[in-house]
Amino acid sequence: MIRIEADLHTHTVASTHAYSTILENCRCAAEQGHKAIGMTDHAMGMPDSPHSWHFENLKALPRKICGVYVLRGIEADIIDREGELDVSDGLLAKLEWVVASMHSWTFSPGNEEKNTQAYLNVCEKKWVDVIGHPTTKKFPYDMERCVKRFKECEKLVEINESSLLTRKSLPETAGELLRLCKRYEVPVVINTDAHFCELVGRIDLASQLVEETGFPRELIYNTEWERIREHIIKKHGEIF
């Protein structure tokens, strides 16, 4: 079983289709032995997202809750083939962790070329740390071409437990992504995308895929909090 030290994609009641508070998420992260957690509620393009003030005011949170570092983050939505996001650069610059994802509410599923161009272009966004759940079956794309670009632009790639649980992501697709990341030595993060606190840190299906594909542990960045911390300081500055 893979053990992570930071679950870097979680949601709270601020996104009203999730069911736990920040405090509840942090308590569960502490119970899992995590050193950090990413608070990444949905950006403003989603129908039930919080107001931009929610993200502006994340600075009001303590640096640690229940002994766990809280990363003030967001899940931004890719909205078009140019890779534009539903968040201003000004707001992203104030945050510490940015996941960029495709959702059918904010990005109309297109053909493979449209989706490919969107992923290639979002790589140019300075503040994006992670390409979120790029295995969702609604959005086929040229995976090998994009994985190479993720590497060039130093974007982490997410293996998303929630997508595997709900079958939004087929194991075969996620397995192919892992094989390509292994071939091109692209770092990944395994996250839960938890919408309920008791799911924080639970990555059984993703762990199984890692074993089946022989994916190298050293390329799973969030198995070691210090590597994530170094990444954040390099991109976002000395925040700890």
Q: What is the pLDDT of residue 135?
A: 96
Question: Which residue carries 């300081």 as its tokens?
Answer: 233
Residue 114's pLDDT band, with cuts at 50, 70 and 90, is very high
If you average pLDDT over residues 35-48, what whole number do you get?
A: 97
Backbone angles phi, psi at 100, to 5 degrees: -115, 125
Closest CA to 116 of 91, 93, 144: 144
CA 73/CA 41 separation, integer angstroms = 7
If you average pLDDT over residues 79-106, what whole number do you get?
A: 97
Residue pLDDT, tens place only, 131-178? 999 999 899 999 999 999 999 999 999 999 999 999 888 899 999 999
How many residues in the chain?
240
CA 91/CA 207 separation, integer angstroms = 34
Q: What is the pLDDT of residue 62?
A: 96
Q: Which helix (H) or strand (E) holds 205?
A: helix 204-213
Are 6 and 37 within 8 A, CB to CB? yes
**101 pLDDT exceeds 80?**
yes
Q: List all residues 6 or more positions away from 85 whose beta carbon is below 8 Å from its beta carbon.
A: 43, 76, 77, 78, 79, 92, 100, 122, 125, 128
Domains of the chain: 6-236 (3.20.20.140)
Residue 239's pLDDT band, with cuts at 50, 70 and 90, is confident
Residue pLDDT, tens place only, 193-237? 999 999 999 999 999 999 999 999 999 999 999 999 999 999 998
Percent of the chain with pLDDT over 70: 100
